[in-house]
Chains A and B, each alone.
Chain A
Amino acid sequence: MNGKYKKVAYYPGCALEGSAHAYSRSTKAVGRKLGLDLVEVENWNCCGAMEVKNIDPKLQTYLSSRVMSIAANEMKFDVVMAPCNGCYHNLKKAEYDLANDPDSVAVVERLSTKAGHETYQAGDIETIHALDWIKHSIGEAGLRERVKNSLAGLKVANYYGCMYTRPRHIFPEKDQGGDSESTLEPHYMDDLLAAAGAEIVAFPLKTACCGGAHTLSDSDTSTKLVINILRAAELNGAEVIATECPTCHSGLEMHQIRAEKRFDIKTSVKIVYFTQLLGLALGLSPRKVGLHENVSDSLPLFKEKGLA
């Protein structure tokens, strides 16, 4: 049990206020149920995502640093939690660049001064993902005690995507042995959902790419990559793919439909945020975890399994 994650700054990011509202809703609901406090970063901005990075990587560093600066300097938090892989990745990348690249530090200083807020200094705050947050505050043992509605009998493939583990150098705390996360074979989601009773199926594509960067700009490539993921999950017997990234989640949902419409390839595996599964296991209602806000309609499956 790590006390410092009991109360953390919460950085939802743009997607969680839009298409991934269900992820935000279920994350908050699970936090409340587990007695963990989330305090939203005041007046936050976009982390820069992949798109601003493509225009200029140092601008993305600045945008992410502003979020960390507010959480650390104005709100005095030691830890900021981002459930979105993109936001999490970008805050980590900004942290790495500001610790190692003097040019990035100079750009961030200049922009922060002109924008009128305190410049973020590397080391001012620790960025964690929603998976780290639950894994290191409650842990598997804590979850097992609190499970009201075991996920027993539900076959789950855990899908982590790209941004949670790559590139390796921006995640210095990973691959450190012991309880640390692995960048090659991430397992935090597997650990948590197994503790909630789910049957975790083998899933070699857990860090494959969904083509999220080109969901709209090169849709055929994205659809082909998503078909691989959906089929691999089904071949391994999964009824549900658990996600922890809004871009992956909506990418899988969108391209599952697009594969049907454009390539006549039908898959029936359901796509659900891991926080929604944890919420159901903790006894929350489908509504409370925002199951109705997903495009992928998993409610009949959960009813059949006695989870809803």
Chain B
Amino acid sequence: MPIHEKSLIRPENLHSQENLTIDGVDVSGHWSTFIEPRVVTDYNENLEDEIAALPGGEYIHRCWQCGSCTNACPVNAINPDFNPRFWIYLVRLGMEDELLRDKDIIWQCVSCNKCTYVCPRDVAPEGVMKATAHWLELKGHRPKSPSILFDEVFSEQVFATGKIEEGRIIRDFFKRTGQPLMQDWLVEMVKRLLSGLPLKLMMTMGLATLFRPRTRGWGPARAAIEEYVHEKEAEQRRALGLDGSAGDIE
């Protein structure tokens, strides 16, 4: 199936005059369309290295732009602007401003790994998407996405107790993103779930929210993980030329 991709000519760079006569020749409308020259002067020569320094971005240099990733991508099928091949191209050329136009959708990668499955060069585009989304947030180009907030809520629980409890994850996530917990579809789901449940199981589930499931003797693992996380954060910030101090992933 051919890849249908967007044109590099953006609508705002196309100009036409309704009434225009040049040297006595009427060139109104379509005939007078001209394209604004596209000059890129602000290359970020470090962009590829910075993305490659973040987890998942290591193999971006292997890409030869075949576009298999974009062709396989289910998010691209929903939104044609979601285009991994194009973003890899921009990163490799250092076209930061172009990349920033799509800063609010790159995090929407669903990690299905279809791209990584079909990539003939083992670029692991799924990892590049994660690294790029991470880069945008570390550089302050956009606030933390709901996706990274979810990852943080989840990881904090794992680091703290060794396990997660799903009800707590949902509550914490909605709280952190300022959304009401009482979403109509969630309420409906819980209603349907409870309709079939015997009392005993409901009580077990209730107790799980009070007494958090945890791995016994997790303390030393927790300390080791937290130390490692702080080291990694400092390392990444150095690689991106940020202040060098550890950030707070909490």
Contacts and interface: CB of A to CB of B under 8 A. Distances in A.
A57 interface: yes
A234 to B, nearest CB: 19
Interface in B110-147: 110-114, 116-117, 124, 127, 130, 145-147
A270 interface: no
Interface string B34-47: 00000000000000
A262 B232 CA distance: 41
23 contacts: A43-B215, A43-B216, A45-B158, A54-B111, A54-B151, A56-B55, A57-B56, A59-B228, A59-B229, A111-B225, A162-B111, A166-B116, A209-B112, A214-B147, A217-B147, A218-B146, A218-B147, A222-B110, A224-B78, A292-B196, A292-B198, A295-B189, A297-B196
Interface stretch (A10-18, A145-153, A193-201, A274-282): A10-18
Contacts of B66: none
A49, A216, A262: most-surrounded residue (chain B CB, <10 A) = A216
Given A54-B130, A59-B228, A297-B196, A257 B189 contact: yes
Contacts of A51: 150-151, 154-155, 158
Question: Dominant SS at the A interface?
Answer: helix
Given A21-B201, A55-B229, 12 more contacts: A17-B208, A50-B151, A56-B229, A212-B110, A217-B177, A221-B108, A224-B78, A257-B185, A291-B196, A292-B198, A293-B193, A297-B195
A18 B216 CA distance: 18
Nearest to B222: A115
Contacts of B114: 162, 166, 209
Contact of B110 (A110, A209, A257, A297): A209
Contacts of B63: none
A254 B183 CA distance: 12
A52 B155 contact: yes
A303 interface: no
Given A54-B151, A168-B117, A217-B146, A17 B213 contact: yes
Given A45-B221, A257-B192, A225 B74 contact: yes
A253 interface: yes
Interface of B: 55-56, 74-75, 78, 108-114, 116-117, 124, 127, 130, 145-152, 154-155, 158, 162-167, 170, 173-174, 177, 184-186, 188-189, 192-193, 195-198, 201, 205, 208, 213, 215-218, 220-221, 223-225, 227-229, 232, 249
Interface residues of A, number: 63
B117 A213 contact: no
A167 interface: yes
Given A55-B155, A56-B232, A257-B188, A162 B113 contact: yes
Contacts of B167: 18
